[in-house]
Structures are given as C-alpha cells and as structure tokens.
Structure 1
C-alpha cells in the first residue's frame, strides 16, 4: 500500500513510484504446492526429512532411533486400514512428538484440515507457543510453507501454503462440533472431562468430525493413564487387556488391537514385555541407592539386563498386537484383531527418557511417603506418569480391603484412656449427630504414628442448660449444649509407664449438621476466642473429592460472589477424602511405625465396624449399603487434620515443638500420683471417667 504525504490545499507534490507488477511465474510457483498430489511418504520418513526437534536446547533433525517405539504408531496415523490410533504411555515418552510428526506430514506431504485438542485454552496456547511454533519455525521446509496472510498465524489457528490448516483448542462443545475435519489429534486425553456438554466423551465427539471422510479420516489420542482402576479383582481375559477404568485412554485402548512393546532377551532370546514390575532392586536401600541398583529380569529364564542395554534393545524392539485366536502378532501380519482402532500401551520401563534409577527412586520415595503419612497423591502421580499405568488405590485393592475380623486381629493390647508410652500429644475430635456428640481421643507420636485411646458419646446436656433434666442433648437447637465439650479439654490421659499424663492439645469438631448446628458452633467458638483459647478449638468444614487443592487450610468462610466474610469465625477446611486415604493407609500398617493408626483391644465392635462403612471410588469415598454409622472414619480424619495444621508433618524428632516433647516440660503434661490422679491439676481436670459411664455405641 502506498502512503501519500500530507499537503496543504493547492500544494503540488510528486507521487512515489508504484510497486512492480507481480510475476505470473512467482504466483504460479507459490500455488504449485496446492496443485501437487499427495507425496507417498510415511510419517516418520517425512519427519526425518523435514522436521526438527528440540534436543536438550539444540534443534536437530528428527531421529527415529531415539524413540523407536513411536515409529509404528506415528505411521499408523495416515493408515487407510484404521480410523483411530490410541497411544497410552508414560509422560515424556515422545507421545507429543508423534502428534507433531503427524502435523509435519499433513503440511508437507498430504495437505488437509487438522484439529488439535488440548486440555484447556490456556494450555493449548502455551503448547503452541512453547512446542508447536518453535518446531515449525526451526524446520525450514515447514517454516517457508506458513501462510503470509494476517489471519494465517493466529495463536490457535495456522494456515499453510498448499491448503493445510491447523486449529488448536480445548475440548468444548463449540470446538468439537459443526465441522468436518480430516484429522483430529487429542493430547493428554485423560486430563480432559469425561463428558462434554452432556453430549459424550471428547474423543467420541472428535471422531464424529472425521466420519464422513471414510478411510481418509483419522482420530488420534495420546495420554498417560489418569483414571483409577474400578475393579480391584479384575483378571485379564486376554494377554494385553488393561484393567477397567472409568473412561479415558485405557478404555479406548481396550477397544482396539491392544499392542504392547516387546524385547528379545539378549541372554536367552525369548520375547518379553519390559515392565516396571520386572525391575529388581534392593528395597532396603535408600530410594536413590535402590534406583542405582535396578536391573531388568527376564521373566523366562531370569536373565539379568543392565540399563545400558536399553537403547539397543529398544532399537530392536517391536509391537505385538492381540489376535482373534488369543495369540500375538505384528501389525503387518494381518492377523491382529479386526478393529477400526489400532491401539498401543507402552510401559514406563521402556520409555527412552526415563532411566530405571529415576523410576525406582521416585516410586520408592512416594511409596515410603505414603506409608508414613498416608497421602496417596505422589504415589498415584508416579505410577500414572512415570510408569504409564493406571492407579489402584490401596483401599480398593484386595490387600487393602478391611473387615471387622482383620481390624480386630490387628488391635494392640492398649487400655482405654491410656496413651502409649511413645505418645507426645493428644487430639480430641467430635462429630455432631442428632441427640449426641460423638467424641474420640487420638494420641500421636512425633513420627505420625497414632492410636485411638478413647471413644464415647455424650447424650446429656450440661446441668445448667435450659430444660436439661427433661431432654437429650441437642446441639442444633441449644447453643448452651455445646458447653458439654468444655470439660473434655481438661481430661488427663495417663501415659503408659510414665508418671505424667497429657491433656488434649486441641479439639477438631464438625461444623455442619442439622439446621442450627453451624450457628451454635459459631457462638461456641466465638466464646472460646473471647477467652483467648481459640487455638485449641477448631471447627471443621470438609471438602470432598481428590481434586481439592491441599489437605487443610485455616480461614474464615467467604461468599464466592464477592469474597467477603460471611461468618465471624475461622474454620479448619479439610480435604476429606485425602484424609480418609491417610486413615486407611494407617490402618494398613501392622507395625507401630510412622503413619500407623493403632486400634486398642478395648474397642467394642461398633466403632471398629464403622471403619468398614465406606469404600473408595474414583471421585471420593462413598458409604457402603446398609452401613448406618461411619463416625470412626470422620473422627480420625478430623484428628489428623488438626495435628497436621499444628505442624505434625514438619516435626523434627531431634528438636520437636514444645507440645511434642516427652515429659513434664510439655505444656500439656500433668504430673499424676501413683493412684493415677493429677497433681495440682487445673480445676475440673480428672482422669477419664470409667467406660461404663460414658460409652454408648448405637448400632
């Protein structure tokens, strides 16, 4: 465009020279790629010829030898025999490069329309900016084919000379509807919603976009498994069947040809699948040292394979798919399962960028952390993303299933109302039920080991509460009834073998219940704050689901609309289901060690049975049918949350906080006489009352 200079009226000026006419030859040369027939070239061949990849900060030509297991899946994305390609595997195994090689082939060899579906619009933009565009701009043949028009290089829309067009977006109804697309690529499918706008899974909606193109259409999905196993007792019916999960990449994999990656053992020549569970290492060592000792063991003859052999074995490796007859065959044999979907599942032990030392070290670190603290999240992450496997929560596994008989057998010979000799502090927890408070006392050690040392119901209101002589306790109606909790904080629990006992350091109480409970709980807490004792009393608000951020946080309740405080109270918010995981992992320990949850032989069957009242689902813990009471589970979670809020997980055993010191220097320790009575105890302090006077378990 020529820009004319400004001038005053009547002023003459010379126009700048007009640009030269475009050459017809140049225009024709630019249009030739659009007229060229599709190049007969495989996806991987085209990638080696035209695509650059980021190799540790240096842009280098694509090399099929780096991730040999991606050759077949990548080439299948242009197959006319299949309509869908599924790849399940660990993170950083080269899955995304497979998608980019498909894009490279589509731009240069066989131009068409392609949609790339990312988790969210924000992650899509980041992926384009950090991975896709740098790859295009550093690959000369791809870079020169980028469109030059203003709309050709939008962040989520790319057009290329020759007719190729790439759209990138999130899995929304708008993005996955109303258009015909030759190729649809899903990245990280298991981090997307299972149902989009109540119209189905994102993969099913994406596959619809290619349907009218027949064998020319292709839908591709890759992901690390992200959904938990739904049937802990599943036994594979075929050699490569994945366990059932609630949707996602492995469900799609099971509906295809079910390919797995194989090596020929360099020792005996037998074919086997390299898997994490075939790594052998010394579990007694530290995680780092255990990882350094890891070797692969051939399942046929016990041949030992060193990590240094992995590259050569991968380059000689191959995919075997299931056959209709129950056997295994290579894809080129033509004997694989008849399906429109070719599917692959790679175990993390074979992944090019994951050393066995790193895999083992991360797994052992997460496993030991889980056993000590009960948080399954790090363990699930490493199993999903490092090993490329679906996660089976311990509480859903056969070994984690609880029964009253098993729990009874695991009980230790502890007496009711007596803290074990290793105890350093006591936490009370209370659940609000119709007509009663359900109270539990839990003793904690510095390593997170804990024991339930008391459990009782309070049915009787304080004597000075309105109408106390003629009614049951009613925390929802009478704010005065909450005073029944006050004497509990001065109870002294003797420490076994010691001349002192422990008063409770804090109490965690349920904030919700029947209408009126939250109002009366607020009044009770405000009174404790006025007395300067708020840091011993915590009203607990639970948040269900495993996607809740964090484990507990202390703040005033606010409105979502404007963020303003709605009650004059601070609540201890807890991730309920994460703390239930901690409870059940603790019950799973048979020893008295870090993170263990110990039950005493004094406990009646009622509260023990309550531990079997729930089962773990994919989204959270749910009650089993015909199990009316589950207070034991909730009370343990409240106690753990309060202890963690106080600093349990940050305790240094060599230099603990004052409230975790053994002996009378502990601010909650009280000297007791040989008869078991507190010496110079505060007014109202006493030993726990006899069980017959306060235990009232309702079945």
Structure 2
C-alpha cells in the first residue's frame, strides 16, 4: 500500500537501469556521466508543467535511451498506457526484437509484470500490470482511434509527409488526459532547411523545437574555463576546426574543437570531462530561451514558461561517435569531396543531419556576377561622399592591410536597400603603430552631407574594423579599442537579438564552414596559459564570411530596384575597363561545399570584404528586424531622424539614438587634432 517514491526518470535510471550490449559496448549500471546531456530531457518527462519533451539529435547519441528509461519506470513504479511510434513496421519490429525484448529480460521488475498470455507479448503489443504498450508504425490507420496519456514519437522527421503535422495528430490521441499526459518526440533534423528558425524550421522536429523553450548545451573550456556551446544557434558557438585541404587521415588526426572566447585548442579526449563539468554545474548544462550564460558560467534571466521542453543534442557532444570528432571531420570532408566530383549532395546531407545533428542547408547556386554588368549600374545622380535620398542610417567598415587601412561607408534604407556612400584609404602601420590606429577615430567621427542641400549631415551609426592579419595586428586592434573605451568612444547600445551592439567594434571572420552566422564574444586577451578566464573586456564580432557572402551575392544579383537592391555611385567605375573596384567586388566564387574562394590567387578583394563587413555591422544593429512602417528614431526619414545633424548639432528629438556620435561642423572642415580632441 506504500506509494512509490517521487523520482524523475533520470533518478530512477541511476538506481535501476542495467545496460547489456551483447556483442560489445558498455555493460553495467546506468551512469549519467557517460552521456550527461540525457539527464535534462529525462527530468521533464514526469513534470506537470510540460506537455511535450522535444529532443533533436544525431543518430547514436543515446536519445532513444530516454524513452527506454521512461518505459522502465512506467512499468515498474508508475504505470500508464503508452503508444510508441516509429517510421516503418520492419524498423519497429527490429527495434522491439533487438532493444525492447532484451531490456525486459534484463530487468526482473519489467519481466515479472509482463502478462503471461500469448496475446500479452507480441512485437506490436505488450500488456503489463496496470498498463499496456503499443508499438506502431506512423501511418494514418495507426494514428486514429488510439488513445494514451504517454506517447513516444521516434524519428518523426522520417514519417510519411502525407500525415502532415504529426504533433497535432498525436496531441489529439492524448488530449483527454490533459496535464497528466506527455509526448516525447525525438529525431534528427531531416526536414529543416538551415539554422534560422523563422525561415528554416517550418516542419518536423525543428518546428517542435522552435515552439519549445529551446535549450542548448553549454560546457566549459578545459583550458581557460570560458563557457560556450557546440550548438550552432548558441550565443558563443564552439566550432570543430580542421584543414579541409589535408588528406582524410590527416583531417581525422588533426581535428580539434576551438574555444570561441579565447581560441583554446581542445582535444577529443577532453570532451568527456567537459560534459561532466556541465552536468555538475548549478544549471545542469542546459540553457534555454530567456536565459543567458556569462563566460564565467553565471546564469542571467529566467527560463521562459512554455508547454514544451526542447533539447538540441549535436554530434560533438556524443561519446558514441565512431572515431570521435576526427571521425566527424573526416566524414564531412569526404562527403564534400564527393559533392565536388558528382554534384550529388546525398552523402553530405546524411553526414550533416545524422552524424552532426545539424539541419542541412543545401548549397545555393550562386551564378557568376560580371564586374562590368555591375559597373553599368553606376548611377550618375549618386555622388561619393553625399548621402542620397532613401538612406536612413550609415555603417562603416575598415579592412586592415599591410601598410594601410581601406574603409567603406554603406547607407541603409527601407527594405534593406543599400547605397555605397564613400570609400577611402588611411596609410599607416597596423602591426606596430598605436598612433596610426588612433587615426581611425577621425573616420569614426566622420559625417556626410545630405543630398537635399540643407547643410544637414548624417553621422556613422556604427563602425567595425578588421582585427586579424599579420602578426601584431590583433594585439594592436584590441589595445586600441581599450584605449578608445577609456575615453568613451565606443558605446554599448544594448542587446539586439541577444548580441551586444557596440557602436565601435573589432570584427573577425570565422574559418569553419559551419561557424555561427554572427556572435559577439569577449576573448580574454590577457590570459595566461591554463588559467581560467574571468571574461575578456574587448568585444569581437565574429561572423561566418561564407554566409554573408552568400547574402551579398543574392543582393548583387537583384537587377530591379526593391528590397536588398544595392545602389552604386558612377564614380566607383574606372575610366575604362576593367573597373577595378567592381573587379574586387566579384573577385571570389562559391565552391560546391559552400566556401568562397578567390577566382585567382593574388586577386584583390577589399571591396567584397568591406561590403560584407558593413552588412555584419548593420545586422548587429538590428537591420533584419527593423519594421520600416515604424522604425527606430535613428532610422526614420530625415526630417524626424534623431541622428541627423544641423549646424553642428543633432536635430531636436526626445528619443535621440543611444550611441550616436557627436557632430562635425556643418561645413565638414576640421583638422585631425581638433577631431580627436573633441572626442577626448
């Protein structure tokens, strides 16, 4: 008569689950330390504040064990009828024979409760004391006329597309049980088309994950202690790095994880301790919507209250991957090379989805854009250095060269149309001269006259500068930012899309193809080897150059004026062909694996890099999220734009934009000394 103890599925598994892998593999009691990321999903299965648990993950990551542990606990201590769906009858029958039946045999608590009649124990139906379990293929006939408070939907992205929204169908099967019901949905993300939720997660397991509290796994770097995540949507994404030009054996041997905060190189053997450290942290390794994890492991904010708990497992988290992270890298490069030869992406899709656990984004075919065709769009009514009608705000990008800096200002307007405003070069020594770096403050202070002839001027909303290059450049770039920050030049606008939006920020392109689109990190540049980082002070906008070059290619291919169209002043053309600036803009092409490379060694690509970097800064400041029917004050039409300067001062505005730069004199004349002095 004594009721069973209140236990989560995770707690019960530690005490009662036995693993017996015939033919090899681990044999013995269940230990959370083997795959600690499974604990979070198991702890939500018997909570009444959730109706659904969603688990995204690659094959052989242990996610099906979540369902088996739930089954064992249900049979032995907490009986309730269960429906268990898989994609096909043959696959389901094989699974019951190879996994479920041996599990019942290995656990006396399950076997003694199994019915003794022939009809109580079949491949599709098993009756236990107080409950029964039906193992069904996901077909229209099996989904209707069924009812149970507990439902397992395994590999939902492999179900027949004709079923439609499987979650809606399964919710009907358990709706009479209300808060006492639970749906456990698991799959690798076959139906997603990329990692951008609003665009790519319209169906399958990623659509369910999008409706959940979207938890991702964070673990600490074993060298500097900074926390980051191997999940590509995380604020600080830890990438798998390898040289895809090496042989497959060398790639497998040399692949490493790279800490996104301080660039620490992490070996495959260190992953287990990272997983365990994450599990033993106060937050258990999982961080979801509404929460933010600082670099030193402090949780800020509260997890949003949703009816679905969502967990995203990726391949580099799993201890079960064949060959470790080197095996993952090898498989991906091999598939990319097959794509290069055959043009077929089936192998690459399988590796991405089923081994990495990432949604697969098919490589977009980007046609070759001719420099002369772009040059023909040069508009004689647009003048370099003058802000044309339509521009609402300006970004600026600075590219570091051997003996100078190249810069370009780009204006942005309704529908994300853009205009090249001006360009130039600043001579100097980026690798050694702090004084030369300080000359960039003049650029940051630059304002541009409006084309209406009123004398009003538009300042630069934000500026990004390249912090990579020859030895010494990164050190000088970070030191310059710290120096400028002491004099209050860079200003933090706040958080936009979860990223810190600074008005002046170093940038760095990521090498990995799978790198996150855009993230702001704070590398601890003063750290000592093997010392835990307490958090850096310099923000760095790290971006995926391949994705942003994809975007630019799409923008340049648009020949009719509209959203994302790029306007060019006629002065960007050379007196005769070849048009040098436009040749730089088209100096690279996209390979079949998605990487962009120069069309010929030694070709100049500054124009391309500067256009991309401007887009990075504009996105950092919320370009993609602007509602142009009611834009922020700094992106309004000129007469009401809070950042416009008149007679050396901003126009009156109650809601002047935070972080707007001080004004230049209306006539635009100033000495270097006066400009720098005014900012100090």
TM value normalised by structure 1: 0.49
1:89 aligns with 2:50: no
Instruction: Tell me which residue corresponds to 1:186.
Output: 153
Aligned mate of 1:353, from 295, 320, 324: 320
Instruction: Tell me which residue corresponds to 1:136.
Output: 104
1:376 aligns with 2:345: yes
CA gap 1:586/1:209 in 2 versus in 1, 3 angstroms: closer
Deviation, 1:216, is 0.9
CA gap 1:70/1:242 in 2 versus in 1, 3 angstroms: farther
Deviation, 1:352, is 1.7
Instruction: Name the Cα RMSD after superposition.
Output: 3.3
Question: What's the CA shift string for 1:139-184, capped at 9, x where partnerless?
Answer: 22222221112211011111112x1211010112232222331100
CA contact (8 A) 1:87 1:344 kept: yes
CA gap 1:219/1:247 in 2 versus in 1, 3 angstroms: same
Instruction: Tell me which residue corresponds to 2:244.
Output: 283
1:212 aligns with 2:176: yes
Aligned mate of 1:260, from 216, 224, 230: 216
Aligned mate of 2:260, from 299, 310, 314: 299
Instruction: Tell me which residue corresponds to 1:337.
Output: 304
Deviation, 1:98, is 0.8
Q: Structure 1: which 5+ runs fail to align?
A: 1-34, 410-582, 594-699
Moved more, 317-326 or 204-213: 317-326
Deviation, 1:591, is 9.9
Q: Structure 2: which 5+ runs fail to align?
A: 233-237, 279-283, 375-589, 601-680
CA gap 1:201/1:80 in 2 versus in 1, 3 angstroms: same
Larger radius of gyration: 1
Deviation, 1:303, is 1.4
- CA distance in 2: counterparts of 1:408 and 1:586, whole angstroms: 26
Instruction: Report the count of equivalent residues.
Output: 370
Moved more, 182-191 or 313-322: 313-322
Q: Equivalent residue of 1:116, what SS?
A: strand
Aligned mate of 1:248, from 204, 214, 233: 204
CA gap 1:37/1:182 in 2 versus in 1, 3 angstroms: farther
1:201 aligns with 2:157: no
CA contact (8 A) 1:88 1:224 kept: yes
Instruction: Tell me which residue corresponds to 1:446.
Output: none
Deviation, 1:207, is 1.9
CA contact (8 A) 1:295 1:306 kept: yes
CA gap 1:349/1:589 in 2 versus in 1, 3 angstroms: closer
Question: What's the CA shift string for 1:393-432, capped at 9, x where partnerless?
Answer: 112xxxx3226648999xxxxxxxxxxxxxxxxxxxxxxx
Deviation, 1:205, is 1.2
Instruction: Tell me which residue corresponds to 2:34.
Output: 66
- CA distance in 1: counterparts of 2:255 and 2:97, whole angstroms: 38
Deviation, 1:204, is 1.8
Instruction: Tell me which residue corresponds to 1:696.
Output: none
CA contact (8 A) 2:104 2:111 kept: yes
Where does 1:556-571 land on structure 2 (aligned, <5 Å)?
none
TM value normalised by structure 2: 0.50
CA gap 1:305/1:242 in 2 versus in 1, 3 angstroms: farther
Question: What's the CA shift string for 1:45-83, capped at 9, x where partnerless?
Answer: 222222222342564222222110001101211111100
Q: Equivalent residue of 1:314, what SS?
A: helix
CA gap 1:171/1:406 in 2 versus in 1, 3 angstroms: farther
Question: What's the CA shift string for 1:187-213, capped at 9, x where partnerless?
Answer: 1111112342xxx42222112222221
1:78 aligns with 2:46: yes
CA gap 1:361/1:275 in 2 versus in 1, 3 angstroms: farther
Question: What's the CA shift string for 1:78-134, capped at 9, x where partnerless?
Answer: 111100000001110001111101101111120010010000112111111111111
